[in-house]
Structure formats: C-alpha cells, structure tokens
A and B are shown apart, each in its own frame.
Chain A
Amino acid sequence: MSSVIASSEVVGHAGPGEQERGQRAVFCGLTSIIWLHRRIQDAFFLVVGSRTCAHLIQSAAGVMIFAEPRFATAILQERDLAGMADCNEELERVVAELLGRRSGIKRLFLVGSCPSEVIKLDLETAAAKLQAKHDNRVRISAFSGSGIETTFTQGEDQCLQSTVKDLPVLAEGARNLVVVGTVSDIVEDQFRRIFSDLGVEDVHFYPGRRAQELAPIGPGTQLIAAQPFVGETVRALQARGASLISAPFPLGAEGSRGWFEAIGDAWGIDSDTVARVLELPYQRSKRAVAAQFDKLSGRAVHFLPDSQLEIPMARFLTEECGVAIKEIGTPYHDALMMSGELSRLHPDIKIVEGQDLDPALERVRSNRPDLTICGMGIANALEAEGLRTKWSIELVFSPVQGFDQAGDLAALFAKPLVREAVLEVGSWS
C-alpha cells in the first residue's frame, strides 16, 4: 500500500521501516541559531568555524541585516590551523572584542562547527576558561552545531543541552512544569493563559525569552516537549530527576488537545476541568482547520527529510485534513520523542530514516504527490518539474503550535495548492 488515508482504527506505527544512507540535502545544526538568537534576546552565538559557516547562516537567513545580528563567526585562518596562533588566545581576543561591542549580552554560546570539530578544538574547556575571565557579566557555554554531528534542528537540542548544567535545583517537595523547545512568543502567551485556566502553576519555557530565565529542575519537574528536536536535552533533564510527559506535539486541534490533556493528567487535574478549559479553544481550532479541509482532503503528500517535524506534521495532515501520505522521510529517529506521535499514526505509512538524495527524488517523481515538503534547495527544482512544494523551514520559522495556530498550519500546506488553482499563467507541468 503506497498511500494511506487516516482510518478510525489506528493501532500505532512501529517507526521507520527503512534506513537510507547517501547524500543528505539538509542544513547543519548552525541553522538553529537563526531562530534561537531571536528567541533568547540577550544571548549571542559565536560560531568558531570557516567562511562557509558564516555564509551558510546568512544565506539561510536571507541576508537580513536590519540590525547588527546577535550571531557572528570567528573565522579560522591558516595561522590558526597551522598552529602558528594559539586558538585559545585568539578566541579570548575575539570574545573580548565582541563583549566590548555588545554590552547587553548576558549569555554567550561558543558554537562548534565542522572545522573546529575536525581540528579538535575543545570549546567546552575554552568556555570554562572564558567564564572565569568574564564571570561577573556573562554566562558562557559551548555546544556543537557542526554538520558532522548535527542535522538542522538538532542544533537547538545541543544548545539547550549545554545550559542544563546552569539550571538551578528545584526545591524539595516543589513541583513545576517545563515546556522544552523554542516556541514563538505569541504561542508562549497563549499557552500560559491555558495553563493558568487549568490551574497548572509554576510553568517555565525553555529556552525563555531571556537567558537568565532559568527553570529549576528536580524530581518534582515534569517535562513536556513543544517540538521534537529536544531529545538529548530531555535526557539530560531526566538525569536530573525530571520526568517526561508522553504526548503528541501541540500541532493541530487534536495534537494540541492531546498535549494539554496529557499535561492535565500528569498534573492530577480532573478530566472535567480539562475538558471544560479546552472546549472553547478546541472548537475554535476545529473550525479554523475545517476552513482548509476541502483544499487538502484527498491530496497526496510526500515528506522529504529535513526538520524532524515530518512525523507530527504527517500525523496532523492524516488525522485532521484527510491527506494521504506517500512517504515520510525523517533525518533521524528518536523513539523517545516520537512515542506520543507514532501511537496516532497509521502503521502502513512508509517512514524512511536518513537520506540518499537522488534515489529519494526519484521516488518523489514516480509518486507524483500533490505536495512535497522539502528543503529550500530542492523546492524550485521540483516545481520546475511540475510538482508543488512547501519549504519545510517555514514550519520551523512560523508559529505553528497550539489551538489558535492550527488553522494557520493547515493553511501553510494548502497555500501552494490554492496558488496552483488561482494562477492562469503558463503551466507548471
């Protein structure tokens, strides 16, 4: 069976049935800096890498220079590589220059790259040394965003994990809820209102808008993931006693309801209260998704691996939009993070982990889906072959979580199809 429409008797999916290895058309983890530096307003990201790293970030960010960015690259030169310059001294100089320019910076991330990993530059030790030097004004930590170790959104996971050690200890007997993973500011505000209506208190968002907003962690901490690319961070928090609430991601009306219900359940809130609080936003959300239903229903969608949001998005499209999934590609599979999703996914949907670009593109061509979700480098190439696409990066850059974004999320998928229908110019195929 090559494509499956959601059925009522979903028994759950076992996870990727195939692994593929070959050329991977995905960003590296450095790309995460684009949204992390917007989210954490007093943080600065210093990539220690090559001109390629600097070029990647600015190209992926669309050469936006409306203000001095809160990220930069310390470009390794031949002298650094030949050992003529002491990399630690060089880094010290560059960091001093940077902190001199930007007095508002409270958190500095040294970000490892492919070249810094290959020459085995120990940025964690460097960060510790620099911390001692600038102890009174800025917290410094290091993580890797290199392509040899991270794929696209994994950069966020590495970043958050590097700050887990700085989180304070939750007082014994106390309890709190930590929402793990970047959400947009408006989504945070909406979620806080619902938490307050539910009676869930002491809620922290990780990362917060400010670097100093640190969530206390301990055995009384319940974790809930806002998006899938935080597996290592969750494990590090679990190691400090926190427990993870298993839930679908808050994508779509059903995903959002499932997410809040799981939180209510874990928090010990009676199900009537949960149902009463969620009723209004849930119904509103259903109406918003319904407005897009006809545009998506019966369409075939193919996901190429990119952001790690492929499985939850496919779940949303089958569960709520009547979409048939041709194939889900995922760059890597983290069973811990996907358990709440796979249980809602039809077992016959083909999931492929990893990538071999050219054969993967050949499957898209032979499937001829109505819509392919893929990276920016591939989209226009497929469009020119007469195939509609949606860039997966938009799903990461837009506010998509929660009840009040469910309609927007459906509209993101519907837009290319609507466009095809309205254009009376030329031909796509």
Chain B
Amino acid sequence: MELTLWTYEGPPHVGAIRVAASMKGVHLMLHSPQGDTYADLLFTMIEREGRRPPVTYTTFQARDLGGSTAELVIHSIKEAANRFKPQVLMVADSCTAELIQDQPGALALGTELPVPVIPLEMAAYTRKENWGAAETFYQLVRGLLSRQVPPPGSERPARDPDKRPSVNLLGPTKLGFRCRDDVVEIERLLTSMGVDINVVAPLGASPVDCQRLPEADANINLCPEVSDLTCSWLARNFGMPTIYTIPMGWGATRDFILEVAAVLGLDIDPDSVGESRLPWYSRSIDSTYLTGKRVFVFGDGSHAIAAARVARDEMGFEVVGLGTYSREMARQVRTVAKEFGLEALITDNYLEVEQRVQELQPEMVLGTQMERHIAKRLGIPCAVICTPAHVQDYPARYSPQMGFEGANVLFDTWVHPLIMGLEEHLLHMFRDDFEFNDSVGPSHLGSEGEGARATDSNQADEDAGDLTWATDAERELKKIPFFVRGKARRNTERFAVEQGISIIQVDTLYDAKAHFSQ
C-alpha cells in the first residue's frame, strides 16, 4: 500500500478515456463500478467540453456481483455499439473490474457486433494515466494498421518529388496542457515551412484518419507521454522517421524547424519561418532583474525538460531544482538535470515535492496545479507549465506553449507572478512604508498576493534545534524582502549551527550573508 494525499495522474483508464474523448467515431465501453463516471466531469467541467466523453460505463453494483457481471458487459457493449454506431469500439476494465476478471475484451471479441473491437488491458495497479493514454493510442493505431504493415525488410519508397512533404502530429489529447492551441501553432509553423499536415491524432482524428497515418513522411512526437510508443511502432513497422524535438521555447522551436528540415530533406532557414518577441523582451533592460532568479521546475517529463531549458537559456533564471512525476520519463529528466548540475527529483508524492521546495527556497516555481498550491502556501510566485491543471489553465484565449507564439506566452506567463524590476528595488530600499511594502505582494496582482503572504512561510526551521533569534536580529530579518527572507533565515541558521552560535544576533545575520555570498 502506498499512502497518497493527492495524485498527479489518474488511473490508466482515465488515459484511455482521454484518447476516446479526443477522437471522432470512437467509443469506449468501460467495465467499471458505479462511481467511476466521475471521469466525465474532468472533461465537461475542467475543459468545459460540451459533450460527455464517448464512454459507456457498466456501473455494476453489489447486486450485480451476485449474478453475472459478464452478461452486463455484453449488454453494455451491444447497447453502446447500437446507440452510438462508432467506427471502432474500444473495450477496457477499470481497476475494480480488473479484479473480477470478466475479460470484457474477450467477451466483446466473442460477441457479434456491427463494429470492430479493440480490447485494452489497463494494468490499473501498476500503471497510471499517461501510460494508459499511450497504451490506448498505440493499441488503436496498431489495431487499425496491422493489416497494412509491409513485409519485414521492405524499403520505404522515397517521397514523390512532386508531392509536398507531410507529417503526422501525434500525441495531443483532451485534458492535455494547451494541446488545442499547440496544434494550431505547430500546424501554422509547419505550413509556413511548406510541410503539410497529414493527420493530427488523437485530437480530432477518426479511426479512418488513423488508417492514413503511413502516408506521411514522418511523425512528430509532440507529446511523448502519449505518442512515444506509437511513434516507435510506426518507425519499426512502416520505416517512418520520428521527429523528437519538443518545440517549446524560442531555441527549441528553431531546433524543431531544423530537425523537421533535416528529416524531410528540406533546406530551410529558421529565421524565414517565423519569429518570437521573446529574445528581445528577454534582452531589453527591463528584464535584467530576472537574472539569476532561482527557479524550481517540476512537471511531466517533456514539459519539465523544456521549461528548464527556457528558464535558463531564454529567461536567464537559475534552475535550482528539476523533477518529474512521470516515471516513464525519469531517465531523460535525470540526464537533463545532470547537465544543469542537479539531482533530479523523481516522485509522484507531492509531499516530497513540497519538502524540496521548502529546502530550496526558490524565488519562483514552475510546476503543475499541485505546485501552485505548494507555492501559494509558501508565499512563492508560481506559474503552471503542465498538467495536472485546473479550469483556469484551460483559457478562452489563444495561449499555446509551443512554437514562436508559445515562446511569447511563456515569457508573459512566467514574468507575470513576479514583482517587477524597479518595484523590487524600491521594496528593498523602503521596506517600512506602511502601505507599500512586501506583505501586499506584487502591485499588479492586487489581492492575489495578499493571501500568499498572509501565512508566514518563513517560520523557523523545525530542525533549528536550540537556536534562538535575538529580538533585534529577528527585526532585522523582517527587513529583508519576503522573497529572499526564507533563504536568509535558513542560511543564517545553518551558519550559526556551523559556527556553534546558539543566539543569533544582527551580526550573525550579516556574517552569514557575507559567508554565503562568497
């Protein structure tokens, strides 16, 4: 058993629902107890979908367990096939159904149905949501294309020189982070490179569309958490190359353009494709204050890696922590963390993340909805970079994370929670002003900052043991702006312990400051 307060990912069958909900002409029959229909509200409430996801749940109850739940499964499968007339019916178990072993996939295959069936195995007790989405997408694509697979060893025919090059955009789903807008942005980018989009999947695709996947020249692995498995399968069986760069940030977008050009044999200058305001905004002197701001990055694997690079190379931040809840991406995140001189935090326990944030006392957190709450509690500015996300992260406006416009969005979104340059200086200088002081937070955020500062996040370290702060030292500490106060407190206490000082005086504070600034 694993004690869990909050979970970053749902169970694997929620991943299956995400794939089904993203597509057209697909229906999922989920063998599951009453209550599992809660998954509907993820789509209708968080993403404001105007339809229920295309799922039929068996919603069995105790009284059904006495009889035959298998009959209920067959009944539900027939109902779903007849009522919704999908092109493909997927059949899966949720966690409880897995235990009663009705094998709904086998039951569906043994039932005469007017639609093809794709059975899914969701491994509810070992896997999680993103794995479930990846597995579902893969099984669906494999099921639809297995008869088209050329014999092993066949050469992939060269592209007809008269035909424009084309790619598939794989991985975007419902409930993904800004997938709706990223697809638009990347389509626009590719179009301006003279590259056609063959199929976008799962988002917006039908099974019939998926059968055209092999017609493209390459696959873009846009959301590897969902599309990695499918891209590898298409590469192995159809000889389709995969484009791996995630075009998030200015530099990565240019790398992406170069990789697409290289894979498709095109000669393209990234400057001719488009431009972003991020480089100038970051170079303009107003942004000087961003330099060296200590940020903590946590999220799914692909967003965390991309965000770390943008934070360091394009914003001029110092990345002091990097981690992911995606165990499937742990290796890649560790590699990147190493490049940054960091040890990656690989965990799906939000308490561990909170503890790390507390230890590092960053000046900003880039994370998920969970980290937003952690940061709020600790009084640290935060921007959300990936799922899990709340309803406010599914905005009405166009707000991609990828491509050149995505880079603009990242700059704005990450700067917004911070106190702006000159304001920060003034707070440093006149911190006793009765109405203009750091306890009210950034002036452009109104009352938003107030709640965050209301709880003093920088309380004495519980491990500080016998240390005491002299009253005037404590008063002096309060003069340090809140966004570095916690760090100053910790450093001073660490310094005092190292020096064998038990009562911290004003001088101890400044000795520590000098010591750590070396």
Contacts and interface: CB of A to CB of B under 8 A. Distances in A.
Contact of B96 (A27, A93, A97, A115): A115
Contact of B35 (A27, A76, A118): A27
Contacts of A75: 1-4
B128 interface: yes
Interface stretch (A142-150, A223-231, A259-267): A142-150
A21 B38 CA distance: 19
Contacts of B285: none
A-B interface, 3 closest residue pairs, ranked by CB to CB distance from nearest: A28-B35, A147-B35, A377-B40
B393 to A, nearest CB: 11
B59 A91 contact: no
A54 B38 contact: no
Contact of B95 (A31, A80, A115, A117): A115
A378 B44 CA distance: 7
Contacts of A90: 1
Interface string A92-125: 0110011000000000000000110111000000
B125 interface: yes
A63 B3 contact: no
B10 to A, nearest CB: 4
Interface stretch (A1-9, A66-74, A204-212, A311-319): A66-74
Given A148-B34, A384-B51, A114 B373 contact: no
Nearest to B52: A381
A123 to B, nearest CB: 12
Contacts of B33: 28, 114, 146-148
A61 to B, nearest CB: 10
A379 B41 CA distance: 9
Interface stretch (A45-53, A129-137, A249-257, A321-329): A45-53
Interface in B415-440: none
A69 B59 CA distance: 28
Nearest to B389: A63
Given A48-B1, A50-B95, A77 B38 contact: no
A157 to B, nearest CB: 15
Nearest to B373: A65
10 contacts: A52-B14, A52-B124, A81-B125, A119-B99, A147-B96, A149-B62, A377-B39, A377-B45, A379-B45, A381-B49
A147 B34 CA distance: 5
Contacts of B83: 358
Interface in B372-394: 373-374, 376-377, 388, 390
B475 interface: no
B245 interface: no
Interface string B47-79: 011111000111111101100000000001001
Contact of B376 (A66, A87, A98, A377): A66
A77 B2 CA distance: 7
Contacts of A69: 5-6
Contacts of A119: 99
Interface string B439-470: 00000000000000000000000000000000
A426 to B, nearest CB: 12
Contacts of B35: 26-31, 56, 114, 146-147
Contacts of A65: 6, 350, 369-370, 373-374
Contact of A148 (B37, B40, B62): B62
B96 A114 contact: yes
A54 B42 CA distance: 14
Contacts of A30: 35
Nearest to B94: A52
Contact of A50 (B62, B65, B96, B350): B96
A76 B3 contact: no
Contact of A25 (B3, B13, B37, B76): B37
A54 B99 contact: no
A376 B44 contact: yes
A383 interface: yes
Nearest to B49: A380
B471 interface: no
B1 A51 contact: no
A58 interface: yes
Interface residues of A, number: 63
Q: How large is the interface on B (under 10, 10 to 19, 20 to 34, 35 or more residues)?
A: 35 or more
B6 A376 contact: no
Contact of A51 (B10, B50, B58, B388): B10
Contacts of B50: 380-381, 383-384
Interface of B: 1-7, 9-11, 13-14, 33-42, 44-45, 48-52, 56-62, 64-65, 76, 79, 83, 94-96, 99-100, 124-126, 128, 350, 369-370, 373-374, 376-377, 388, 390
A28 B37 CA distance: 9
Contacts of B37: 23-27, 375, 377
B390 A379 contact: no
A192 B424 CA distance: 52
B170 to A, nearest CB: 25
A372 B219 CA distance: 45
Contacts of B52: 377-378, 381
B40 A378 contact: yes
Contacts of B45: 376-377, 379-380
A118 B373 CA distance: 35
Contact of B1 (A62, A68, A87, A147): A87
Contacts of A151: 34
A60 interface: yes
B38 A80 contact: no
Contacts of A380: 44-45, 48-50
Contacts of B14: 52, 55
Nearest to B14: A55
B7 A54 contact: yes
B38 A24 contact: no
Nearest to B351: A68
B128 A51 contact: yes
B207 to A, nearest CB: 22
Nearest to B43: A377
Contact of A59 (B41, B51, B64): B41
Contact of A115 (B4, B99, B388): B99
Nearest to A66: B373
A146 B33 CA distance: 9
A78 interface: yes
Contacts of A379: 44-45
Contacts of A25: 37, 40, 59
Contacts of B350: 65
A25 B40 CA distance: 9
Contacts of B48: 380
Given A28-B35, A50-B96, A149-B61, A376 B41 contact: yes
A90 to B, nearest CB: 4
Nearest to B388: A63
B376 A55 contact: no
A76 B126 CA distance: 10
B44 A51 contact: no
Nearest to A48: B1
A23 B45 CA distance: 20
Contact of B38 (A23, A60, A67, A146): A60
A94 B56 CA distance: 35
Given A76-B1, A80-B1, A378-B44, A51 B124 contact: yes
A384 B47 CA distance: 13
A56 B128 CA distance: 14
B292 to A, nearest CB: 29
Task: Identify the interface centre among A56, A63, A78, A383: most chain B CB within 10 Å of its CB.
Answer: A63
A213 B235 CA distance: 65
A98 B95 contact: no
A99 to B, nearest CB: 11
A257 to B, nearest CB: 36
Contacts of A383: 50
A66 B390 CA distance: 14
Contacts of B94: 52
A421 to B, nearest CB: 21
A28 B34 contact: yes
Which residue of A23, A72, A85, A90 has the most chain B CB atoms within 10 A of its CB atom?
Answer: A23
